[in-house]
Amino acid sequence: MINEKLILSLKKEKNLLAFSYGSDSCALFFILLKHEINFDLALINYGVRASSDEEEDCARKLALKFNKKFYSTKAPIFTSNFEKNARDFRYKFFDELCKKHKYDNLLLAHNLNDRLEWFLMQFSRGAGVLELYDFKDCKQMQGYKILRPLLFTSKREILGFLKENELKFFHDESNDDERYFRNYIRKKYSNSFVQEFESGVKKSFSYIEKDLEFFKADEKEFCGIYICDIRENFIAKCAKKLGFVLSTKQRKEALKGDCVISKDLGLCYFKNKALLFKYEKSEKMPKTAREEFRKAKIPPLLRAYLYNKQIKIDEFLALFTL
């Protein structure tokens, strides 16, 4: 289920597995054991189901049995927009663990069905090629990578592995609730589609991976500033890396010129490139600094950010001469 190249890489690095004791993460747990890959566990207890505490307790015992470090936390009660808030809380927890304990990789157990599910969700909302395929098997973060080793493995194969090896796992009943859009797409479309056309779905995603090499943006990141081509999808992608998901209206606003979106996302055009950054103000900038920025023709919206971060003008300008 995991290719040999990835197995060799994981054996050399420090890995953290996002674990829920559901079918997918349980399967990945024992697959990693089978290949003698070292890893630890991280679990979020959302406390929304009667079995939440039991699952956490069983996961802790499983970690102890196989000599794995176990990190867990309880999420607050989210009164609205549960999916987004839960996801933000989850990734913040994982991010803090990876940076604090210096993990090289965060392993997620998303599978082929999840991949098609994501594709259909984006497709239904209106999306470009880059957004339709933003669900990748490898994503570079600051200091570590997010890896999805099972992204070409179907739910059918995962359940078959668990049954063959007589492995226990918990079923999350909330995944059956069609009030959540993700569950609706999964139950109505993606699962049945993969079940009928599994081989073709795998081939298609493989072909798309290769084809996307031709669509890669000329993108840079410098001290928290993302620099990309002035194209709607590239701008939206960089905004997302800064934690902002742009609406259709905001995308159009971004293409009109320098602006501040949602009061916190700064965007300006410089040297035929789009620059995105977390907007900052500076009321104490000395006159000499203001004059230097003016002479260098630095976009006004960006000046406070450069000044506050103590970024030298020469270093910034050098980015556009490479």
Task: Give the residue extent of every domain in the chain.
Answer: 4-211, 220-319
Q: Which residues contact 176 (CB under 8 A, 6 or more apart)?
A: 183, 187
> Hey, what CATH topology would domain 4-211 get?
Rossmann fold (3.40.50)
Strand ranges (E), 148-272: 220-222, 225-228, 259-261, 265-270
DSSP state of 190: I
**pLDDT tens digit sequence for 195-221:** 999 999 999 999 888 877 666 656 789
Cα separation values, 164 from 27, 46, 71, 112, 272, Å:
11, 30, 29, 20, 57
pTM over 0.75: no
Each residue's pLDDT tens digit in the chain (322 positions)?
Answer: 888 889 999 999 999 999 999 999 999 999 999 999 999 999 999 987 778 899 999 999 999 999 999 999 999 988 888 888 999 999 999 999 999 999 999 999 999 999 999 999 999 988 877 778 778 899 888 899 999 999 999 999 999 999 999 999 998 887 888 888 989 999 999 999 999 999 999 999 998 888 776 666 567 899 999 999 898 888 998 998 898 989 989 999 999 999 999 999 999 999 999 999 999 987 789 999 999 999 999 999 999 999 999 999 999 999 887 5
